[in-house]
């Protein structure tokens, strides 16, 4: 327990950098998809640069952060195994599994875009980008309020957050249609 605060700090640092990567990689995907629609030579120049940026972000920041956040989380659970008996921890681990599913799907999209395989529109990718935000909000509120969580209000809050995010995306799309440089 002497090192608990250090381990927890490292866990949080790598969770933050993991989410930073998960927030930014879909933005790069949006830019890659839009660059693919540009005429030559812009398409090739932008595509090459965006692929390099995505590769560096994905393999230098996002994947290592995911692995280190997980290792420090396991270490914390080994130090305080009673957490595994807590209902809030079961729900949190469910969200962590959802986060890994999101991460792995993002990895699949990354690999496709690296090979110039475009299966998503830029608007679909903007919506995809909000998945990690919803997971982050869910986990933070769950961990902070723990047993005080009223599940009904929590579910309603996540639904409201999702609706607000979708409305924001629609508003941005409308603004962008009127002003393509926005």
How do the pLDDT tens digits run along the chain, 182 residues long?
Answer: 789 999 999 999 999 999 999 999 999 999 999 999 999 999 999 999 999 999 999 999 999 999 999 999 999 999 999 999 988 888 889 999 999 999 999 999 999 999 999 999 998 998 899 889 888 988 888 888 776 556 667 767 777 888 888 888 888 878 878 887 76
**Predicted pLDDT of residue 147:** 61
**Predicted pLDDT of residue 152:** 62
The two three-digit tokens of residue 168, written as one number: 């924001």
CA atoms within 13 A on the CB side of 150: 4
Question: Does 119 carry a binding-site annotation?
Answer: no
- Asked if 53 contacts 28 with a C-beta cutoff of 8 angstroms, the reply is yes
Q: What is the 3-state secondary structure (H, E, C) of 77-117?
A: HHHCHHHHHCHHHHHHHHHHHHHHHHHHHHHHHHHHHHCCC
> What residue numbers bound the domain in which 66 lies?
4-178
CA-wise closest residue to 142 among 90, 98, 97? 90
pTM score, two decimals? 0.85
Overall domain count for the chain: 1
**Predicted pLDDT of residue 84:** 93
Question: Does 11 carry a binding-site annotation?
Answer: yes
């Amino acid at each position: 327990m002497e090192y608990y605060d250090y381990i927890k700090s490292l866990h949080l640092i790598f969770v933050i950098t993991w989410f930073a990567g998960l927030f930014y990689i879909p933005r790069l995907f949006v830019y890659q998809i839009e660059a693919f629609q540009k005429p030559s030579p812009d398409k090739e120049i932008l595509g090459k640069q965006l692929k390099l940026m995505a590769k560096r972000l994905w393999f230098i920041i996002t994947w290592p952060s995911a692995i280190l956040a997980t290792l420090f989380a396991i270490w914390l659970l080994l130090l305080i195994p009673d957490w595994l008996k807590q209902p809030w921890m079961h729900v949190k681990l469910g969200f962590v599994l959802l986060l890994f599913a999101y991460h792995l799907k993002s990895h699949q999209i990354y690999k496709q875009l690296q090979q110039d395989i475009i299966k998503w529109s830029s608007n679909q990718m903007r919506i995809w980008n909000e998945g990690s935000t919803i997971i982050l909000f869910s986990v933070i509120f769950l961990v902070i309020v723990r047993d005080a969580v009223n599940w009904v209000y929590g579910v309603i809050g996540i639904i409201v957050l999702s609706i607000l995010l979708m409305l924001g995306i629609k508003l941005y799309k409308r603004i962008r249609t009127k002003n393509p440089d926005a």
